[in-house]
A and B are shown apart, each in its own frame.
Chain A
Amino acid sequence: DGGITQSPKYLFRKEGQNVTLSCEQNLNHDAMYWYRQDPGQGLRLIYYSQIVNDFQKGDIAEGYSVSREKKESFPLTVTSAQKNPTAFYLCASSIGNRGSNQPQHFGDGTRLSIL
C-alpha cells in the first residue's frame, strides 16, 4: 500500500536528550513537511523540504533539525534545545509542484512526551 509511515507512534524523551522521529513515504512525492499540533491549536509548520538535499525552516524551527538525504525519507530530530517538546508530531507529503493545487497527505503521527 502507498502511504506515509511515521515511527514510533509514542516516544518519551528524557531531559537533555535528542530524539529522532522517522517519516518515510512511498508515494514518490517531492515535498515533505513536519508539523506539531498542541491541544486546542492548529498545526504549526516546523520544517519542510521541496526536493532532496534541500529544506527550509517553517514557523517554529527552533530546537529542531531535519535532513533530506533520500526522496522517501525526512527524519526530524527534536534536540535538547526544544524546551517544550510535548506534542503530536505529524509528517506530510505532497507532489510538490510549485503552483499546483496539490493537497498534503499525512502520516498517522508520533506523540512525544517528556519523562
Chain B
Amino acid sequence: RKEVEQDPGPFNVPEGATVAFNCTYSNSASQSFFWYRQDCRKEPKLLMSVYSSGNEDGRFTAQLNRASQYISLLIRDSKLSDSATYLCVVRFTGGGNKLTFGTGTQLKVEL
C-alpha cells in the first residue's frame, strides 16, 4: 500500500462546479499536511497547508480527519485556471523534514 494515496482522475467538471478530492495516508503518526498544485510540465507550487481544525483560503477548503487518516480539498466555483494536478503531501513523524507526495489528482475544468 502506498504511503499517500490519491484518485488519479481525471476529474472533468464544468466551470462553476464544486469538486472535492480525497487523499488517504497510511502512517497514523503523521505530522504535517499540504496540498500542492502542479501545472503540466511545471514545478509543484504550494496551494495550502492543512490544519487540524480545517482551513479555508478563498474558494479552497482543506479538511483533515486524523481518525480516518484522510485529507480533503474542496474547490468551489471552479475556474478554467484551476485545471491542474493536485498533489497531497504528508510529513511523517520521525522523518525529519522529508515530505511524501501522492501521485496527484488531475482536474480539468471545462466551459
Contacts and interface: CB of A to CB of B under 8 A. Distances in A.
A58 interface: yes
Interface in A83-112: 88, 90, 94, 96-109
Contacts of A42: 4, 87, 101-104
B49 interface: yes
Nearest to A96: B97
Nearest to A48: B98
Nearest to B4: A42
Nearest to A100: B97
Interface residues of B, number: 23
Q: Is the interface of A mostly helix, strand, loop or mixed?
A: loop
Given A43-B44, A107-B43, A50 B87 contact: no
A98 B91 CA distance: 11
Contacts of B89: 103
Q: How large is the interface on A (under 10, 10 to 19, 20 to 34, 35 or more residues)?
A: 20 to 34
Interface of B: 4, 8, 31-32, 34, 41-46, 49, 87, 89, 91, 96-99, 101-104
24 contacts: A33-B98, A40-B8, A40-B103, A41-B103, A42-B101, A42-B102, A48-B96, A48-B97, A50-B96, A58-B98, A88-B41, A94-B97, A97-B97, A98-B97, A101-B31, A101-B49, A101-B91, A103-B34, A103-B46, A104-B46, A106-B43, A106-B45, A107-B43, A108-B42
The 8 closest A-B pairs by CB, nearest first: A106-B43, A42-B103, A42-B101, A43-B101, A101-B32, A103-B46, A108-B43, A109-B43
